């Protein structure tokens, strides 16, 4: 009986109100969804990514996305592999450049994580186990570098994993620190200075821990972080080099 009454926000059956897609874009596709998700994540971080929000961002309904993506977890896998695609991974050549090649790959991976700090919050769920094409490309290339360096087949895999583990560990720590920083709204130097009183207290109980705010004062924090990263990377490469010399 009341079925034909006007319902809340019922589309008036007028020619003028015809749904008429207003997007010129070729509609929806998995690549576009992934791209939009990366854009949203870069701009507002992991907490801002919801299917509804991503929908409105693309001018569609949330549930429409599910035609091209099985669920949110799958979307995240896709998004992670997408950013792995940004890596600069030198083609392997001779047995000479392996050290520079691995170092360059490491810095490239770190750069990617710092450009997309949200990957840090997500790597723990996705891990290195999801086998996306770009991640496989990275493994392949780095394995090639290790082989070119002269490692026997079985050990090359171990060497590559060692480098990747270090780089990922260092980069995710750094990214989560930077995310925290971003949420605080302050600049990095301001932030460090605001920590001084707290660390004074902490240092009382922990005499060895150094007060970086004073120890490194005056240095550009960004450069400093890069030096810290490179120090560890070089130590691993040193370790691999001595291992090579021994055979």
Partner DNA sequence: GCATCATGCGTACAGCGTGCGCAGCCAGGT
Partner DNA sequence: ACCTGGCTGCGCACGCTGTACGCATGATGC
Query: Where along the sequence are the contacts to DNA (CB under 7 A)?
Result: 7-9, 18-21, 27-28, 49-53, 60-64, 66-68, 71-73
DSSP 65: G
Minimum gap (Å) between residue 34 Cβ and DNA: 14
Looking at beta carbons only, is 64 or 199 nearer to DNA?
Answer: 64
Partner from a copy of itself, DNA, none binding residue 128, C-beta < 5-8 Å depending on class: a copy of itself
Looking at beta carbons only, is 122 or 143 nearer to DNA?
Answer: 122
Are 129 and 190 spatial neighbours (Cβ–Cβ below 8 Å)?
no
Residue 168 tokens, joined: 């990922």
Partner from a copy of itself, DNA, none binding residue 127, C-beta < 5-8 Å depending on class: a copy of itself
Minimum gap (Å) between residue 25 Cβ and DNA: 9
Question: Which residues are at the interface with a copy of itself (CB under 8 A)?
Answer: 120-129, 131, 136-137, 139-140, 143-144, 147, 153-155, 157-159, 161-162, 164-170, 172-173, 175-177, 179-180, 198, 202, 205-206, 208-210, 212, 215, 228, 231-232, 234-240, 242-243
Please give the Cα distance from 234 to 213 (Å, whole number). 25
Partner from a copy of itself, DNA, none binding residue 219, C-beta < 5-8 Å depending on class: none
Are 237 and 99 spatial neighbours (Cβ–Cβ below 8 Å)?
yes
Minimum gap (Å) between residue 119 Cβ and DNA: 17
Looking at beta carbons only, is 4 or 8 nearer to DNA?
Answer: 8
Look-up of token digits 């290790």:
146
Looking at beta carbons only, is 34 or 112 nearer to DNA?
Answer: 34
Of 25, 31, 33, the closest CA to residue 61 belongs to 33
Minimum gap (Å) between residue 90 Cβ and DNA: 37
Minimum gap (Å) between residue 184 Cβ and DNA: 17
Minimum gap (Å) between residue 136 Cβ and DNA: 25
Looking at beta carbons only, is 33 or 164 nearer to a copy of itself?
Answer: 164
Alpha-helix runs per DSSP H in the chain = 30-44, 51-58, 72-84, 98-115, 118-126, 133-149, 153-184, 188-205, 212-215, 221-245
Task: Calculate the alpha carbon distances from 36 to 57, 79, 84, 211, 234 in Å.
Answer: 8, 10, 16, 42, 37
Partner from DNA, a copy of itself, none binding residue 51, C-beta < 5-8 Å depending on class: DNA
Please give the Cα distance from 191 to 208 (Å, whole number). 22
Q: Count of alpha carbons within 13 Å of 231, Cβ hemisphere only?
A: 6
Looking at beta carbons only, is 57 or 188 nearer to DNA?
Answer: 57
Are 45 and 179 spatial neighbours (Cβ–Cβ below 8 Å)?
yes
Q: Count of alpha carbons within 13 Å of 145, Cβ hemisphere only?
A: 27
């Amino acid at each position: 009986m009341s079925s034909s009454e006007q319902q809340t926000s019922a589309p008036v059956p007028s020619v003028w109100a015809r749904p008429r897609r207003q997007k010129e874009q070729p509609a929806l596709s998995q690549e576009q969804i992934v791209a939009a998700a990366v854009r949203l994540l870069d701009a507002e971080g992991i907490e801002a990514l919801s299917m509804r929000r991503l929908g409105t961002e693309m001018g569609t309904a949330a549930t429409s996305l599910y035609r091209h993506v099985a669920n949110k977890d799958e979307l995240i896998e896709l998004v992670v592999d997408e950013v792995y695609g940004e890596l600069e991974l030198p083609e392997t050549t001779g047995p000479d450049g392996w050290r520079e090649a691995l170092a360059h790959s490491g810095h490239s991976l770190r750069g990617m994580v710092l450009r997309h700090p949200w990957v840090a919050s997500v790597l723990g769920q996705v891990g290195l186990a999801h086998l996306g094409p770009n991640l496989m490309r990275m493994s392949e290339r780095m394995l090639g570098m290790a082989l070119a360096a002269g490692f026997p087949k079985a050990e090359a895999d171990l060497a590559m994993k060692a480098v990747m583990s270090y780089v990922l560990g260092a980069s995710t720590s750094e990214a989560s620190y930077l995310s925290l920083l971003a949420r605080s709204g302050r600049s990095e130097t301001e932030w460090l200075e605001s920590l001084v009183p707290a660390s004074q207290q902490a240092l009382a109980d922990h005499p060895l821990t150094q007060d970086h705010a004073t120890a490194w004062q005056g240095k550009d924090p960004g450069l400093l972080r890069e030096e810290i990263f490179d120090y560890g990377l070089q130590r691993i490469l040193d370790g691999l080099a001595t291992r090579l010399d021994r055979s």
